[in-house]
Amino acid sequence: MSGSKASPSPGTRCAGGVDGREPYPSDLLDEAWEPIRPVITDWEAKHPSVSGHEGNYDMREIANGILYQVRTG
């Protein structure tokens, strides 16, 4: 076994880089994440951490959480 994970097929939900987590039904589909990713990447480039800390959470996971709250209240 090589230890590498296969890429998800189009239309699937991705765990967003969180090791060992199964995707939730509410997670963003890859197609929905792609238009959001450049906006977040640009924001991160313009707002570097003062301490140099990169953060503990993947931005896709944060977006998943925000959108879950918007949908469910």
**Crossing angle for the helix pair 59-72 and 30-46, to the nearest 10 degrees:** 120
Per-residue pLDDT of the chain (73 residues; tens, 9 = 90+): 444 444 444 455 554 445 567 888 889 999 999 999 999 999 988 988 888 887 788 889 999 999 999 999 8
Helix (H, G, I), strand (E, B) or coil at 29: strand
The whole-number pLDDT of residue 55 equals 78
CB-based contact 36:4 (threshold 8 Å):
no
Q: How far apart are CA 62 and CA 68, in angstroms?
A: 10
